[in-house]
Amino acid sequence: MTRALPSWSLTVIAAASIVVALTTGSAAAGLILIAYGFAGHLAHARTQERARREALRAQSLQILSGVAADLRAGGETGIVVLPDAELERLARAAQRISDRTGAPLAELLERLEVQQRDLSRASAAAQAQVAGIRLTSVLLAVLPLVALGMGQAIGADAFGVLLATPFGTGCVAIAVALQLGGLAWADRLAGQTSLLRKPKRGLQRLAPPSIKVSLCEELAAAADLIAAALRAGSPVSTAVLATGEVMAGPLSRHLLQVGHQLRLGVPAEAAWQPLVGLDLGRVAADLRPRSEPGVGIWRGNSPQGRSAGKQLVRWRGVIDAMWRPLARRRDGFDAGRQVALAARRSSESGAALSRSLTRCADDLRAQSRDQLQARLQRSAVWLVLPLGLCFLPAFLLAGLVPVVLAVLGEVL
């Protein structure tokens, strides 16, 4: 792993930009240096953070594999502690479901390790594919330098026009803003193609930090735990309630609701209904603290702050209700409905629910991979937007316009 940039590097970048601006007498030169210096620092920090997360995840998978092997050999284990927070949450859930229902912990951990390795491989393959998006954005960002260099080659003082005139300074400021916006836009498109990051589409940006994986992966993990508890001899209601209690994630409340309805004797078709139509926006709304309607926006206790916070939550709910059908229509897949249908079919046909849920978990993970491929294709198509709205105008302002003005100045 490469070494992270020191914290004082931002100060060095700012000081260097000031020195360059004073020595060259060009504010545009200082602006270029500080803007791209900060952008490079941020990009390096994000790369380091991704590498750190991947290293922690790989280390956690190795520990998980070792613990499962020890259990298979007849050894004992205490509380599973993993460097990766998400894997530790799932491993703790498996351990707690094993303690409560008697399900074999080695089998649970082995399945978790296999599924998470598949998830890591799929995400790594996706990151390799989106490297083209990031490389394209970088190449587009350096196109103005190519145009300026060609202008200098034919004898036009394009750099002088760009860096030593008020009009050139204005062009530099607008072009830098456009290019930084285009780079951030392209990076965001590339960031939507990872299975290991929090989804951030639409109002799902409001989801709390506890939501780390997609809904398909979360439901698949819950289905595996319920199936393990059923194979250990637990009734369906007990298995669902135990899973809801140990998951400690966004689905906990809904699983507990299903388990309580099953324990009360509610028919399966109605009991599993809370999972139908479930999405991350709804889960986030359910998890949002009721006592702090304006948390993160208005933190004061004044009546105005509380009123504004309540209005914000109310409008968030309205917009989220409008967004959810559109998102479901676009994706064409209801992950919660798949689990509910598997449970209903089992109750009607008498088939073993544990096998149905295991197959359903595999289907959900396959669907998650399909969604990843769809996001990859959409990101490649949507790259045309930052190209046309950001990089092309920046190329015209900082590349062609100075060359044309320099040539006209030489001719006239």
Question: Among 63-67, 141-145, 366-370, where is mean pLDDT lowest?
Answer: 366-370
pLDDT value for 24: 81
Q: Let me know if residue 323 belongs to a domain.
A: no
pLDDT the model gives residue 201 = 40
Amino acid found at 149: G
Model confidence at 330, pLDDT cuts 50, 70, 90, reads very low
Q: Per the domain annotation, does 309 fall within a domain?
A: no
Q: Is residue 243 part of a domain?
A: yes
Average pLDDT, integer, range 80-102? 87
Calculate the dihedral angle through the C-alpha atoms of 311, 315, 317, 318, rounding to the nearest 10 degrees: 140
Q: How far apart are CA 152 and CA 162, in angstroms?
A: 12
Q: Are 140 and 391 in contact (CB under 8 A)?
A: yes
What digits encode the pLDDT tens for the residues 37-50? 888 888 888 888 88
Does residue 293 have a pLDDT over 50?
Answer: no
The number of folded domains in the chain is: 1
How far is the C-alpha of 125 from the C-alpha of 112, rounded, in Å?
20
DSSP per residue, 112-163: HHHHHHHHHHHHHHHHHHHHHHHHHHHHHHTHHHHHHHHHHHTT--HHHHHH
Using pLDDT thresholds of 50, 70 and 90, give the confidence band for residue 281.
Answer: very low
> What local confidence, expressed as pLDDT, does residue 279 receive?
57
- Give the pLDDT confidence score for residue 268 in this predicted structure: 84
pLDDT at 124: 82
In terms of residue numbers, what domain contains 228? 9-278+334-411
Pick from 88-92, 101-105, 185-189, 233-237: least confident = 185-189
pLDDT score recorded for residue 200 = 42
Rounded distance between C-alpha atoms, residue 143 and residue 160, angstroms: 18
> Is 293 part of a structural domain of the chain?
no
DSSP state of 275: G
Residue 324 lies in a domain: no
Give the ranges where 272-400 is alpha helix by DSSP (H).
280-287, 303-331, 335-349, 353-382, 384-386, 392-395
Q: Give the integer Cα–Cα distance in Å for 67 and 409.
A: 74
Q: How far is the C-alpha of 218 from the C-alpha of 364, rounded, in Å? A: 9
Assess if residue 287 is contained within a domain. no
Determine the longest span between alpha carbons in the chain, in angstroms.
92
What's the pLDDT score for residue 396?
92
| Percent of the chain surpassing pLDDT 70 | 76
Over the stretch 216-271, which tens digit does the pLDDT of each residue have?
788 888 999 999 999 998 899 999 999 999 987 668 888 999 999 999 988 888 88
> Tokens representing 371?
């969604």
Both tokens assigned to 260: 């309580």
Inside any domain, residue 399: yes
CB-based burial label for 294 (10 Å; 0-12, 13-18, 19+): middle
Q: What is the pLDDT of residue 342?
A: 83
Whether 355 is covered by a domain: the verdict is yes
Q: Is the pLDDT of residue 197 over 70?
A: no
CB-based contacts of 71, cutoff 8 Å, min separation 6: 77, 105, 106, 109
Give percent of the chain above pLDDT 90: 9
Q: How does pLDDT run across 349-399, given as a tens digit for each residue?
A: 656 788 889 888 888 888 888 877 887 888 878 888 888 899 999 999 998
**Backbone φ/ψ region at 199: left (φ over 0), alpha (ψ -120 to 50), beta:** beta
